[in-house]
């Protein structure tokens, strides 16, 4: 089996480092987040005010004096109304500002993630679990919303409200009652939320990992649904999908038990503390004062209890944030130069000693070739000989060693975009994005006249097909352009390359899905550009299309086995190229 690219082990940032990264990435959003915290505190105080006014009303109806406060029914009614409206407005403001900060932060994190993925691509993308990347880019980003919208505002309001109520209790009911109240706050806000944290963290990390694996399995299922149906592998794929979650099931059950225990303990602490408050305060205060103390203590405890609520979601959020942070910390395997140099408009592609290794496995070693403007060099060899790896290394898609230059300028000294605009790779897999035909052709370009797009399509034998489409260039290709044949997708990919007018066009089995007639149209289009000065590196298994090459380079097990003109190699009956030509002729020769 051919070695596969392997990305370096992903960094594993700690919780503190991840929190610093989150805050640093969204530092300009801290002022509105502070506003959300203020609004959260005011909302809690408005709620306490409603309870206090209600208690005053109950006391007035019972003829009980409360802390020397006397108010008319009108004042009480207006107080309830004003506080209720204020609480609603403040709550709305808190939610609006908090979620605005959260969604702006998520948007920024998505942009950061995309920039990191693009910076590390394409090597990192190919060498990682694509389902895991998808989970990071979608679900993990969304789960970080808990940190911004549901963590800091309730935490700040819990501290402020508990501090204010403790001070009020101390001044109105004495130190003993204040200490009882404070003990309840500590249990609700610190002790109970800390119960089972290791299990919750392990569960959150396991669930995030399982989501990545299941996303990968789902992507494989959808991409290969025809194969799954054809081989009746549906039940086995389903069993594998269900079995993925089994390792984390035990932790999930333990986490559920911990969650239930914490909820029960919270209720016990709230009402146990209220009872203790009444016992302590009853010796020195009348019924009215005890009523006020009770109606203030209960909602203040609920404010602190919110800490336990967001701690549960925070573990999952932090697990997702760590995966995001790890992705953002990933180093590009092919780095931009420190002092970039632009490539010349024209020049010779010179390759000397090009080598590629995946870990300890060398897949390409010592490739030498020269490709001048207008030349066609063919790279041939059996499957797994390193042809596609060489193509990827030339466009700096994978890490490599050796010397590669264009017009005398080392490719490693040029910006990656500069390299990939001069050297353009068209691979066997013609990738189409979801969108229109025009959008796929212009991928990465601002604008090209429709007439030029149509001319290239007609040149590649797609004119009749284009004319049959009612929307023309605005025809939507759908998801991965599956409505098109493999040959049509390959010709569209080649058209996308030709309109960019690269200096060097690298064709990696990019005509493998074409019939002979369509292939000749494609080769004629390429030949026309070659005549105009475009260099071509052609990678193909089909020996029959290589006779016009200026030079043939034959690879075997990642090394150059032989090279020369087609005539020179065919003149040697024992050459690898001759034997490949004979095998191809035997395959297509009709039986007698």
User: Would you state the structure tokens that stand for residue 450, as one six-digit string?
Assistant: 């429709």
Nearest Cα to 91, choosing from 154, 15, 173? 154
Q: What is the DSSP letter of 356?
A: E
Query: Which residues on neighbouring strands pair with residue 505, listed in sequence order?
Result: 424, 536
CATH topology of domain 349-588: Rossmann fold (3.40.50)
- Quote the pLDDT of residue 419: 92
Work out the average pLDDT over 234-240: 78
Work out the average pLDDT over 32-55: 91
Mean pLDDT estimate for the chain: 84
Locus of tokens 């009020």: 168
- Quote the pLDDT of residue 133: 63
Locus of tokens 């994190």: 109
Residue 205 above 80 pLDDT? no
The string of pLDDT tens digits covering residues 536-583 is 999 987 787 887 899 999 999 889 999 999 888 888 888 888 888 888
- Quote the pLDDT of residue 9: 53
Q: Degrees (nearest 5) of the Cα angle 398, 402, 405? A: 90
Residue 1 confidence class, pLDDT cut points 50, 70, 90:
very low
Separation of CA 322 from chain center: 13
Question: What percent of the chain shows pLDDT beyond 90?
Answer: 31
Residue 110 confidence class, pLDDT cut points 50, 70, 90:
confident
Question: What percent of the chain shows pLDDT beyond 70?
Answer: 91
Q: Identify whether the C-beta of residue 460 lies closer than 8 Å to the C-beta of residue 494.
A: yes
Q: Identify whether the C-beta of residue 141 lies closer than 8 Å to the C-beta of residue 327.
A: no
Q: What is the DSSP letter of 8?
A: P
Reported as half-sphere exposure (CB side, CA atoms, 13 A), residue 121 has a value of 11
Q: Identify whether the C-beta of residue 25 lies closer than 8 Å to the C-beta of residue 112.
A: yes
The string of pLDDT tens digits covering residues 293-350 is 888 888 899 889 888 777 767 777 787 788 888 877 777 777 788 889 999 999 999 9
User: pTM for the full model?
Assistant: 0.71
Tell me if domain 15-329 and domain 349-588 are identical in fold: no
Q: Degrees (nearest 5) of the Cα angle 174, 178, 184? A: 160
Work out the average pLDDT over 7-26: 75
Domain ranges in the chain are 15-329, 349-588
- Quote the pLDDT of residue 236: 80
Nearest Cα to 12, choosing from 323, 239, 254? 323
CA–CA distance, 204 with 588 (Å, rounded to integer): 58
Residue 96 above 90 pLDDT? yes
Question: Quick one: three-class SS letters along 314-353?
Answer: HHHHHHHHHHHHHHHHCCCCCCCCCCCCCCCCCCCEEEEE
> In a 10 Å sphere around its CB, with 0-12 CB exposed, 13-18 middle and 19+ buried, how is residue 451 labelled?
exposed
Length of the chain measured in residues? 592
- Quote the pLDDT of residue 39: 94
The string of pLDDT tens digits covering residues 131-141 is 556 666 667 77
The string of pLDDT tens digits covering residues 138-178 is 677 777 877 777 788 888 999 999 999 999 999 888 889 89
CATH architecture of 15-329: Up-down Bundle (1.20)
- Quote the pLDDT of residue 530: 92
Residue 528 confidence class, pLDDT cut points 50, 70, 90:
very high
Q: Degrees (nearest 5) of the Cα angle 244, 117, 539? A: 95
Nearest Cα to 441, choosing from 431, 429, 451, 453? 453
Residue 37 above 60 pLDDT? yes
Question: Quick one: three-class SS letters along 430-452?
Answer: CCCCCCEHHHHHCCCCCCCCHHH
- Quote the pLDDT of residue 591: 46
């Amino acid at each position: 089996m051919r070695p596969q690219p392997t990305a370096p082990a992903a960094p594993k940032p700690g919780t503190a480092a991840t929190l610093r990264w989150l805050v640093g990435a969204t530092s300009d959003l801290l002022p509105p987040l502070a506003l959300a915290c203020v609004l959260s505190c005011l909302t809690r105080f408005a709620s306490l005010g409603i309870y206090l006014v209600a208690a005053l009303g109950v006391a007035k109806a019972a003829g009980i004096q409360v802390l020397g406060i006397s108010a008319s029914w009108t004042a009480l009614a207006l107080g309830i109304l004003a506080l209720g409206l204020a609480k609603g407005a403040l709550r709305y403001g808190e939610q609006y500002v908090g979620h605005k900060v959260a969604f702006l932060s998520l948007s920024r994190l998505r942009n950061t993630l995309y920039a990191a993925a693009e910076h590390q691509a394409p090597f990192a993308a190919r060498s990682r679990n694509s389902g895991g990347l998808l989970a990071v880019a979608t679900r993990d980003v969304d789960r970080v919303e808990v940190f911004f919208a549901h963590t800091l505002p309730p935490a700040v309001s819990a501290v402020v409200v508990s501090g204010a109520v403790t001070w009020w209790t101390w001044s109105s009911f004495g130190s003993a009652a204040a200490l009882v109240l404070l003990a309840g706050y500590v249990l609700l806000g610190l002790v109970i939320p800390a119960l089972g944290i290791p299990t919750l963290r392990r569960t959150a990390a396991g669930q995030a990992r399982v989501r990545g694996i299941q996303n990968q399995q789902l992507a494989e299922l959808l991409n290969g649904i025809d194969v799954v149906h054809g081989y009746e592998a549906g039940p086995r794929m389903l069993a594998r999908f269900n079995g993925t979650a089994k390792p984390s099931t035990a932790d999930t059950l333990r986490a559920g038990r911990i969650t239930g225990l914490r909820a029960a303990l919270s209720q016990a602490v709230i009402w146990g503390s209220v009872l203790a408050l009444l016992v302590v305060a009853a010796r020195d205060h009348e019924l009215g004062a005890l009523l006020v103390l009770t109606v203030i203590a209960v909602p203040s405890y609920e404010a602190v209890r919110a800490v336990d609520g967001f701690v549960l979601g925070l573990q999952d959020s932090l697990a997702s944030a760590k995966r995001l942070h790890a992705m953002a910390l990933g180093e590009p395997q092919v780095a931009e130069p420190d002092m970039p140099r632009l490539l010349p408009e024209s020049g010779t592609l010179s390759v000397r000693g090009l080598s590629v290794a995946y870990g300890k496995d060398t897949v390409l070693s010592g490739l030498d070739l020269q490709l001048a403007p207008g030349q066609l060099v063919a790279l041939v060899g059996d499957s797994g000989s390193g042809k596609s790896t060489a193509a990827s290394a030339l466009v700096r898609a994978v890490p490599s060693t050796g010397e590669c230059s264009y017009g005398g300028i080392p490719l490693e000294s040029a910006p990656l975009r500069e390299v990939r605009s001069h050297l353009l790779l068209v691979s066997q897999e013609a990738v189409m994005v979801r969108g229109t035909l025009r959008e796929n052709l212009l991928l990465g370009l601002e604008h090209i006249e429709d007439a030029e797009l149509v001319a290239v399509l007609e040149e590649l034998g797609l004119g009749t097909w284009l004319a049959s489409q009612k929307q023309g260039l605005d025809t939507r290709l759908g998801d991965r352009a599956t409505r098109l044949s493999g040959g049509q997708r390959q010709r569209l990919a080649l058209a996308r390359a030709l309109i960019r007018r690269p200096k060097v066009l690298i064709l990696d089995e990019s005509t493998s899905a074409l019939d002979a007639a369509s292939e000749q149209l494609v080769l004629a289009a390429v030949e026309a550009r070659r005549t105009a000065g475009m260099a071509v590196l052609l990678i193909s298994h089909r020996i029959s299309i290589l006779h016009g090459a200026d030079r043939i380079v034959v690879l075997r097990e990642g090394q150059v086995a032989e090279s020369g003109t087609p005539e020179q190699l065919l003149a040697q009956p024992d050459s690898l190229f001759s034997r490949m030509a004979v095998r191809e002729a035997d395959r297509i020769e009709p039986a007698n």
